[in-house]
A = this chain, B = another copy of it.
Amino acid sequence: MKKTISQATIDRLPLYFRTLRLAEAEDLPIISSDELGRRLDITPEQIRKDLATFGQFGRKGIGYDVRELKERIGNILGLHKNWRLAIIGVGHLGGALANYVNFAPLGFSVVALLDINEKIIGNEVNGIEIEDSRRMNEVIAAKEVDIGVITVPAVEAQGVADKLIAAGVKGIWNFAPIKLSVPPNIPLVNEDLSIGLSALSYHMTQED
């Protein structure tokens, strides 16, 4: 049976994962919910509630085994799967994502870059050659891509999504500001950088 976990909890899991990875690097064997909370600015109650959703992790009055908790959260998030990403649209944002250093420690690798612009096809970004997006099927299959990252303009995004799915990707990460239609078995996450900025604007307005 699949449990329904709130999106907010899912969103916090990568934060826990990263903090635990740092704690592991510090050779910390055990971490309390108080200490996790201090490092993340989340209440210990919230942390205990989040982690309890996935089963019994910690031991009362002692804390969590850092390595065990990190691995279990990693497994829940599927970070042990070494997902392979293709970025479609190597403009400023696509190029920034190709160079983004925070993906690799979480088990994501960018393995392919695709663009339709002849002027940049053949160029390399972060050691990866930009290939012709008209060869999408071939590239997605050859490089065993799991996740298609869409950083093309909004008008092109649905067409790219359709082609990615036909080519066999298992999930879509969409940066184009448009609602995409995808089959129900293909997970889709929409990223919108203006959401965070609007939240900041909201809080600044409350401060006035």
| Majority-rule SS of A interface residues | helix
Residue numbers in B under 8 Å from A193 (CB-CB): 97, 100, 102-103, 191
Tell whether A170 is near chain B: CB-to-CB under 8 Å.
yes
Cβ-defined partner of A11 (8 Å) among B77, B195, B201: B195
Q: In whole Å, how far is A74's beta carbon from the nearest beta carbon of chain B?
A: 10
Residue numbers in B under 8 Å from A96 (CB-CB): 91-93, 95-96
Chain B residue with the shortest CB-CB distance to A189: B200
Residue numbers in B under 8 Å from A99 (CB-CB): 91-93
Q: How far is the CA of A81 from the CA of B203 in the complex (A)?
A: 13
Q: Which of A155-208 contact B (CB under 8 A)?
A: 170-173, 177, 179, 185, 187-189, 191-207
- Establish whether residues B197 and A108, one from each chain, have CB atoms under 8 Å apart when the complex forms: yes
Residue numbers in B under 8 Å from A57 (CB-CB): none
Residue numbers in B under 8 Å from A205 (CB-CB): 76-78, 81
Q: Copy number of this protein in the oligomer?
A: 2
- Establish whether residues A198 and B39, one from each chain, have CB atoms under 8 Å apart when the complex forms: no
- Establish whether residues A177 and B102, one from each chain, have CB atoms under 8 Å apart when the complex forms: yes
Q: A194-B106, A205-B77 are in contact. Are A200 and B177 (CB under 8 A)?
A: no
Tell whether A40 is near chain B: CB-to-CB under 8 Å.
yes
- Establish whether residues B78 and A204, one from each chain, have CB atoms under 8 Å apart when the complex forms: yes
- Establish whether residues A78 and B170, one from each chain, have CB atoms under 8 Å apart when the complex forms: no
21 interchain pairs, CB-CB under 8 A: A7-B199, A15-B195, A77-B205, A78-B204, A79-B201, A91-B99, A92-B92, A92-B98, A92-B100, A93-B100, A103-B194, A103-B197, A106-B194, A106-B198, A108-B197, A147-B200, A170-B204, A187-B200, A187-B203, A187-B206, A191-B193
